Structure 1
Amino acid sequence: MHSLVKLLCIVIISVHGQSGNFLDCKSGLLSAQQRAADLVSRMTIDEKITQIVTTTAAIPRLGLPKYEWWSGALLGLVYSPSVSFDGDPPAATSFPMLINLETSFNMRLVYHITSVVSTETRAFNNENRAGLDLFTPTVNIFRDPRWGRSQETPGKAPFLTSEYVYALVQGLQRGEDEHYLEITADCKVYNAYDLENWIGTDRFYFDAKINDQDLVETCVHDAHVAKDTVAVALHTDTDLNCSDFYLKHTKESLDNKTIVEKDIDRALEHTFNVLIRLSWFDSPEQQFYRQLTKADVNTPESRKLSLESA
C-alpha cells in the first residue's frame, strides 16, 4: 500500500472552515477505496481505535481533523452533536414531521424537501456547524400509537415506507455534482424499536427484569463478558460505534485475540471511503458543494416549499 506514496501529496485545504495540512490524493488514478486504505495504513493501532466511534479524535501528525458523525435531520437540519445554530444563519428551513409528510403520498415532494435539507447541511458544514452524515431516516414500522417516537417514522405501511425512504435517501445523497455524494443518509432503527411501556418497563429506564435462571441459561454464556461484543460487532460489519464502547474495549479484544487489526482496518476503510466520496479530503476549489454559503439556507424558495408541504 505504501507504494502509493508517490501518488500522494500534502496540500493546504479547508475542511469544516479550518485550515491545515491533510493528506490528499490529487491523482484520478486512485479510487476512493484505495485512498481510504492508504490513509488507514498510515495510522497506529491506538489512532485507529479513536476513529471507530461517532466522535473521532484528531490525528495531528497526519493532519487529520476530528470529525463528528452524528448530525440530525428529523424535519430539516436539527440540533445534534455535530450541528450548531450559534451563528448566522441561526436556523435551517423546517419541514413537517415524517409521519405527516408521508400522508401526502407525494414522493416527488419528499425528494425536493430532502434536496433542500442536504444543500443546507452542506452550507452549515462549510461553516464548521454540521457534519456530512445524517442519522435519518427512521424506518421502523409504526405499530402502536403509544410509542413516543412514532412521529419520526414514515408510518405503518411497509410498501409506502419503502417508497418514502427511497425518495428521501435519493434527495439527500444526489446533488448537482455527480462526482460526489452531497450528504450520506443512515437508515436507522430498522425493526422492533417501539417499546414504550410494557409491564413496568419503559424506554427511559429500561430494565429487562431477567431472572437469574433465564440470565444464565439463555442470555449469558460462561466465560463471556461485555468486551466480547466488540468482536461480534466488528465481525458483523458494525463499523462505527455510537458511544465510547469501542474506545474502552477494542484494545483488550486485540490483546485477547478475539479480533485482529485487519478487522479494525476494514471498518475504517468503509467509513473513510464514505468521507472521501463526500469530498471531505479534496480541495474546496474543485467542488461545487464547498461554494455553498448562508445565502443558500432558509431561502424564499425553501420557505415556500415548507409551506406547500405543510
Structure 2
Amino acid sequence: MKGRQIILDHIQGREAAALMVDGHLDDFLIDGDAPRPGTIYRAIADRPVKGQGGMFLKSPDGTVFLRQVKGLAPGQALLVQVTGYSEPGKAIPVTQKLLFKSRYAIVTPEAPGLNISRSIRDEDERNRLLEIAHDIAGDTSFGLILRSACDAAEREDIAEDISAMLSLADKAMTESEGPAATIAQGDGPHLTAWRDWSDSAEIVTEQGGFEATGVLDTLEDAQGPHITLGGGAGMFVEPTRALVAVDINTGGDTSPAAGLKANMASARLLPRALRVRGLGGQIVLDLAPMPKKERRAFESALRAAFRKDVIDTTLVGWTPLGHYELQRKNARPALREVLT
C-alpha cells in the first residue's frame, strides 16, 4: 500500500504504535518494562562515581545515573528526567535538563529564549508563530521551541499546546524539594506517535489494526537478524551483550562493484532497521569488501540517512580493521526483549 499509515493498537497486552510507509514498517513504538523516557523524578543524590564525573541517584523506580555532576552532595534532592532505556544490569540514564515536549511546542525551563524550527522558512509563517508565542508565553522565564508541526497549524491548537506545556513545566518545577517521587510520567507509544509522527497519514485505531494492516508480519521479520538489500545481498543485524554487530554480505554477486552496492544499500536501510528493532549503544559495521577510495561515498550516504533519523546517532569512524563504528542513543526498548 502506498502512502503513510499510523496504526495504534496493543500487542501482548502492551500499548504500541506502528508507522507504515509504502507498505514497509518505518518505525515502531512499544511499552517496555522500564520507566518511559520523559518520566520526571524528584531523585535523591546517593553516591558519586569517581573518575566518571557522574552520580547514582535514588528514585521511586530504583537507581538512576546522572552524568557530568558538579557540586551535588549526597542526600540532596533534585529534578531529573529519564533520557532513554538502560542496558541490562545498568542504571536508568537521566538528565537535569528537563524538556516538556508536545506536538507543537517544547518548553525548556533551564534554557530561556524563543526558537522556531529551522525547517519553517517562510517569513510570514515565522512571524505568525512568533506572535502566537508572545501572546501565550510572553511573560514566562522558561524557554520555548516551536516545532516543525506548527507550520500551517491552527492558531488555537498551537496556543493550547503551548499553554499545556507551560502549565506542566510550572507545576513540575515547584516539586524540587522532598523525598524521592515520580513527578510526571513519560508519554506512552500512542501519545508519542501523535507528538512525533506529525506528517499527513491515515490513522488506524481499531482493535486488531496490527493484523489487518500487516504490522504483525513485518514485526515477525524484524525479530530476525536478516534484511534483504537487493541483488542477492543481505545485512545481518545482531545485538550482543557488548554491542550491535552489523554484517553486510554481497551474496552471489561477484561483480567488482558488488561490495560498494551492498554497502550503499545498507547505509540507506540501517536507520530504519535499528529504529524498528529498538537497538542502540555501540554499533559496529562489518562492511562488504570495497576499495578504500569508496569510503567517503559510503560515509556520505550513511550521514545522509541518519540525518533524517529521529534518534541521536554519532558516526564515530573507521577502525584499523576496516570496520565502521556508530554510537546510538538507547531511545527504545529492544524489540527482542519485549516481544518474547
Do both share a fold (TM > 0.5)? no
Higher strand share: 2
Higher helix share: 1
TM-score range (shorter-chain normalised) is: under 0.3
TM-score computed with the length of structure 1 as normaliser: 0.25
TM-score computed with the length of structure 2 as normaliser: 0.23
